[in-house]
Structure 1
Amino acid sequence: MSESLITKKAIAEALKETCKIKNIEKISISDITKSCGLNRQTFYYHFQDKYELLNWIYYNELFIKVIEDISFDNWSDRIYELLEIMKENKSFYINTIKNSDEYFKDYLFNITSVIFKDAIEKLDEKSKLSEEAKGFISEFYSFGICGVVLSWVKSGMNESTKSVSSHLKQLALNTEKLGYERYLLL
């Protein structure tokens, strides 16, 4: 592991630890560097601000693990994995998402919209849907998944990860069986 990656991970851990006791909006660079024993110059060498660090954590500790080899067939398993990782770091994700959810929401939306667009392409074998309709359907499901996950976080992650991922999977399966054909007939 490179020295730069080790430093980034140390800074990330410092932010996660600080989030346990302080709201993300009130955390300063000084708080982060004090927690990990580094100086401000080192922080700024690796990250522009705490939001770039937050994006780095979301991507490297959450999304990169989930998006590898993701497909329409396994997306619900990956959502389950995503929820499990989040629950392991519950205070960090609740703190950062409750106070600044746009970073997380953007990542999740982009990933899910690509997955659903790909699934719609596969289901629309006869090319009955326009590109606009495919985009609309994939965005609809992506917003739905984002909304459910964000709501789960903001309500304290009380519902089990298995239950949330199972509900999302069942919704997609029911829509695939019933709704998709109806949409094509309209």
Structure 2
Amino acid sequence: MNRTEKLIMNSFLSLLEKKPYNKIKVKDIVEDCQVNRNTFYYHFHDIPDLLNRYLKEDLDHIIHQQNNFENPVDCLITISQLIINRKEIILNIYHSMDRTIYINYLDELTLYFVNEYAKNIVSSLNQEDKEILIRFYKSALVGVLLDWVDHEISYDLISSCRRLSSLFENSQISVPLKSKTK
């Protein structure tokens, strides 16, 4: 990303901290970063293109960091910390009409982390079972994260995750996967 694109991106993110994504206009961005409209359109097609670029670059940056996960809760904690660090931006994207862009980003991010967990932990499983496990954990974690965002990131998800992990580790409770037939 060149200097002008960074300037536009930073203005966009600054505005996203203050107001919903669907209320931000190109005019707002160019006034904030003091470039003209043609400069904006030279670098980005429109605001959705700008948002997609931000999310893709953010995802690429996160993926290139070294992450080591011992359990799926570690994946959830890592993602929730990323969301907390961008709370206002995330909420302003999520509450817009275009929330599918964010949901797809969250889905891709979670899939990456769960795949990393699966690579390190479940090497004894065959490929089909590994894929089933990955899909399950990805879907469960995305569901938990979306519920958290739906609740305005208002409860302590990290503490809840640690407590959940402790409950599973210290519990004799198992969840039956088969229904009992009479």
Same fold flag (TM > 0.5):
yes
C-alpha displacement of 1:158? 1.1
Partner of 1:90: 87
Residue pair 2:107, 2:138 contacting (<8 A) in 1 also: yes
Residues 57-72 of structure 1 correspond to what in structure 2 (within 5 A)? Answer: 57-61=54-58, 64-65=61-62, 68-72=65-69
Q: 1:152 aligns with which of 143, 148, 152?
A: 148
Which consecutive residues of structure 2, in runs of 5 or more, have no partner in the other structure? none
Is the partner of 2:66 in helix, strand or coil?
coil
Higher relative contact order (CA 8 A, sep 6+): 2
RMSD between aligned residues: 3.5
1:163 corresponds to which letter in structure 2?
S
Q: How many residues align?
A: 173
Give the % identical residues: 25
Length-normalised TM-score, structure 2:
0.72
Q: 1:24 aligns with which of 11, 18, 21?
A: 21
Distance 1:78 1:27, change over 3 A: same
C-alpha separation between the residues in 2 aligned to 1:120 and 1:171? 21
Partner of 2:36: 39
C-alpha displacement of 1:130? 5.5
Is the partner of 1:48 in helix, strand or coil?
coil
Residue pair 1:97, 1:150 contacting (<8 A) in 2 also: no
Residues 90-109 of structure 1 correspond to what in structure 2 (within 5 A)? Answer: 90-99=87-96, 100-109=98-107
Residue pair 1:66, 1:81 contacting (<8 A) in 2 also: no
The structure 1 segments of at least 4 consecutive aligned residues displaced by more than 4 Å after TM superposition are 74-79, 117-122, 167-174
Partner of 1:166: 162
Residue pair 1:19, 1:92 contacting (<8 A) in 2 also: yes
Comparing 29-38 and 111-120, the one that deviates more: 111-120
C-alpha displacement of 1:167? 5.4
Report whether the alignment pairs 1:10 with 2:17. Answer: no
C-alpha displacement of 1:35? 1.5
Comparing 70-79 and 15-24, the one that deviates more: 70-79
Higher helix share: 1
Length-normalised TM-score, structure 1:
0.70
C-alpha displacement of 1:93? 1.0
